[in-house]
Amino acid sequence: MSLENLIKAAYNESVEGNRQGDKLEEIEAIQRYIRSSKKIIIPNWNQTKVNIINKVLKDFQIPEAEHFEFHTNSADLSRMPAITKAQMALDLCECDLVIARGRLGIPGSGSLMVILDSKGRVLTGATSPSHVVHKKDLDEAVEDEITQCLERIGLKK
């Protein structure tokens, strides 16, 4: 079943008061969508982050992502910078999937990595505490976040 049909069915279940949580077929549909994506982009100015994300994508047998460079600083002015960055990328580039990382919320709130489909729907995401809390270097934090994003929807290396 397509994502659209699964979303509609879940919506109807919620409206009718019958929704009992996620179903395996919903998770499998997200997995298929991600694995079949032809054009994946990562909006940022940091090639190192792109390299780390692509290393993990390869480990999960997911196509390599393209580095989509554009100014994302204005996303930091929003309430949810990581999601705003992903949405900005969708406005500027045709793609199947966008993987964005940025601040979760206000300064000090930590970071969020999010994966959106071509319509801007959140497929998965992962959060990290602020660097001053977790003390990881950037490479390790990015690798952990993209791994969590994929594992939380049941994908395995």
pLDDT digits (tens, 9 = 90+) for 32-63: 999 999 999 999 999 999 999 999 999 999 99
What pLDDT score was predicted for residue 121?
98
Distance CA 79, CA 144 (A): 24
Q: b or e along 30-64 (b: 16 or more beta carbons within 10 Å of the residue's beta carbon)?
A: bbebbeebeebbbbbeeeebbebbbebbeebebbe
Distance CA 10, CA 32 (A): 18
Short-list 93, 92, 74, 75, CA closest to 84: 75
Residue 27 CA to chain centroid, in angstroms? Answer: 15
Distance CA 40, CA 28 (A): 19
Q: Tokens in use for 110?
A: 């930590």
pTM: 0.95
Complete domains list, the chain, with CATH:
1-36 (1.10.287.470), 37-151 (3.40.50.10150)
Residues in the chain where the model's pLDDT stays below 70: none
